[in-house]
Amino acid sequence: MNMDTLFFKTPSINGWIEGLPVGNGRLAAMSWQDGAEDVLTINHEWLWRGVNRNRKPAENAEHLESLRSLLKKGDYFRAGLFANLYFAGDGGISAVKGRVDSYQPAAELRFQAGRESPFVSRALDIRRGVASVERGGKSPLTAKVFADCVSGLLYALWEPKDGAVLDGELRLSRPEDKNADTRIQAAAAMLVLDCTFHGGISYKLVAKINTDGTATATGDRIKITGASYLCCTVNAGTSVKGIDEELDTYRPAAPDAAEAERQHAEKFSSVMDRVVFTLESPAGSAGSSLPIEERVALMKKGAVDNDLCALYYHFGRYLLVSSTVSGELPPNLQGKWNNRIDPPWDCDYHFDINLEMNHWPAEPCNMGECADKLLRYAESFYESGALAAKNLYGCRGIYLPIQTDVWGVSTPESFGWAVWLGAAPWTAWHFWQRYIYSGDKDFLKNRAYRFFREVAQFYEDYLVEDEQGVFQIMPSQSPENTFAGAGHVLPVTICISSAMDVQLCYDALSYAIDAAEILGVDAEKVSKWNSIRQRLPPFGIGGDGRLLEWNEEKKELEPGHRHISHLYGIYPSELFTTEKRPAQYEAALKALEYRLGHGGGHTGWSRSWTAALMARFGKGEGFYEHYTALIKDFATMTLLDTHPMGGWTPPVCFQIDGNFGGVAAVNEALVRCVDGKIHILPALPEAWPAGAIKGIKTPGGHTVDIMWKQGRAVSVDLTLGYSGEAVVCVNKREQQVRGNPDDRIGIKV
């Protein structure tokens, strides 16, 4: 068993989507094979077209009361059309292109050996962040690539083996793009690509070549002969940062590639090593010595492979580190990897599940610095979000859109989908997680509280008090679902006080209240927020015992819808638990079972959310069913999560959120933190009778190490965090633990 390496004997038959990703947050590359060529599809985190970076929110607040009048009359059809006309922007299901800029590939770097060098194998060392390819034949060679998280550069190396000489051709290209001007030049020691998007940003990519062979430049390629090594150091700069300034800022941090790799691996592994997770495989399970593609194929046929289950977890952590470790921006729909100038959903940021799910593993896996990329991105919206709140809804505070790009511009851009204001309060959850995991009061005072206050202030102005004194959210929606009686034109129904919106509002007000009380500020505001929170609509339960998704019982047009937004209160929130609101807890379980009984969970990210929900419910077998489905039904041979995509070849696209959600689901199955208690192995499946997980963090800043055998914890150690106390529930025993921060305490099992 090797929990550090993904090993393959099959090349990327379906191209890029079966590649091996490397990244440092700033630069990323997908390593794949195109026949005899080794290909690196290179990305830069700030490389978005930039055509729409100066867009502004429309001034449509004057139409809000008319929309609310339609909703009060129950005219959901007209209300939906009216709402989307004034509060959703273009794009989406409309015939007009939306204004979200798309994330772009920077270049493809291709190397083809000049002599026979057939593919043998490839591997990805996820602990060190290094991908490699082995080629054999008459001219055997090893190719290696890593995105250096020390210097911020990308390294690609080719070395012959067994005394062979390296001959070949290195070339640089970019997909044909009618909306960009691209120029590629080659010199003896350098390949340079300059590109300007029409009406957008510019960038330059430079591949510097180091070899002891002869390098001959022609057009967009360099021919190498008689070499014992070839090393390419890739850098890129965008006009966002200043092309020349950025290229000058990022320079090699080591004198040669070997030392650069050593320093990179040391830093990269220091993050990956924070969590250890192993599972014992039962007799007769799939062999861990087999290449990954064979093991995935065996799992699809029903084989048990606990090692692969653990490896999938670690691969998800690897993707999060690779997306953020030395970068500035959070991972988008595909992390930091994209090969198309027309990527699905613009390879953008979706605030109605995808961006949040991308960061669910960060705090429990002790990678708070990865979560901080999302928080700083959210903070970039303050100015635009305030303008959007005012222009769209006549409110103070902050509004974030359901779909957006890198520029921190808060405009709704997806007709049919975008009349939703839950993005800001959901993001507030992440600010609260950062605080309760770290205990950093400076962060709470100087960063988080401002965000909480802005969100709460928006609600102060936005909520509508009805005749019964209840504060209603209108317009509202339940992303991305619809109910009968509102017509069949729009994919999402506009309504009053959807369950998710009420849950988000309740949580966001709670963060503002709790933070203000901790900091000892804004007593009058706290009183007002408390009053509003107490008068929000109830968390309703239908006649059949299911948690309501909308403010009253309505017939779903898609009872097996992929979104399960109304179950936010179970996970990632803890509004509904067995100790507080047990009725809603049980009703939510019935709602989930109903959704799954009608075909729900039919995408990777939806399945990972389902796995996490099952774990939160303590359903170990349900967790296992849906977690392993991520591998069996939604993973490429290289374990990348997929989403169905009609008309594509292959008929799926990569969506990274399912990978991240899978990590979160495992964390939840093994260490659940609700109602101020740490529950050990709350949803352990029978297929995992023995194993260990170490380094999991919990609220309070604690770290948990667990070993179990025969389905029972045999060793639990808790390293106390900043709070100095914890309640641990293990093997049906509840224990109070107190001490000093950093005390390591063995828990009785």
Phi, psi dihedrals of residue 437, rounded to the nearest 5°? -85, -30
Cα–Cα dist 298/673, whole Å: 34
For strands 691-697 and 276-279, give the pairing.
Answer: antiparallel
pLDDT over threshold 50, residue 594: yes
Which tokens go with 531? 């009053």
Band the pLDDT of 1: cuts 50, 70, 90.
very low
Q: What is the pLDDT of residue 29?
A: 98
184 contact partners, CB below 8 Å, separation of at least 6: 172, 173, 174, 191, 192, 193, 194, 219, 220
Which tokens go with 745? 């305490």
Indicate the SS3 state at residue 208.
strand
Q: What is the pLDDT of residue 116?
A: 87
For strands 703-709 and 691-697, give the pairing.
Answer: antiparallel
How does pLDDT run across 367-416, given as a tens digit for each residue?
999 999 999 999 999 999 999 999 999 999 999 999 999 999 999 999 99
Walk me through the domains of the chain, giving residue ranges and CATH numbers: 5-49+102-272 (2.70.98.50)
74 contact partners, CB below 8 Å, separation of at least 6: none
Average pLDDT, the chain: 96
pLDDT over threshold 80, residue 3: no
Other C-beta atoms lying within 10 Å of the C-beta of residue 409 = 25
What percent of the chain shows pLDDT beyond 90? Answer: 95
Contact (CB, 8 A) for 610 and 593: no
Band the pLDDT of 95: cuts 50, 70, 90.
confident
Could you tell me the pTM of the whole model?
0.98
3-state SS, one letter per residue, for 179-244: CEEEEEEEECCEEEEEEEECCCCEEEEEEEEEECCEEEEECCEEEEEEECCEEEEEEEEECCCCHH
Cα–Cα dist 693/421, whole Å: 38
Provide the angle, in degrees to the nearest 10, between the axes of the packed helices 306-324 and 292-300.
Answer: 120
DSSP 542-565: -TTSPBPSSSS---BS-TT-S--G
Band the pLDDT of 286: cuts 50, 70, 90.
low
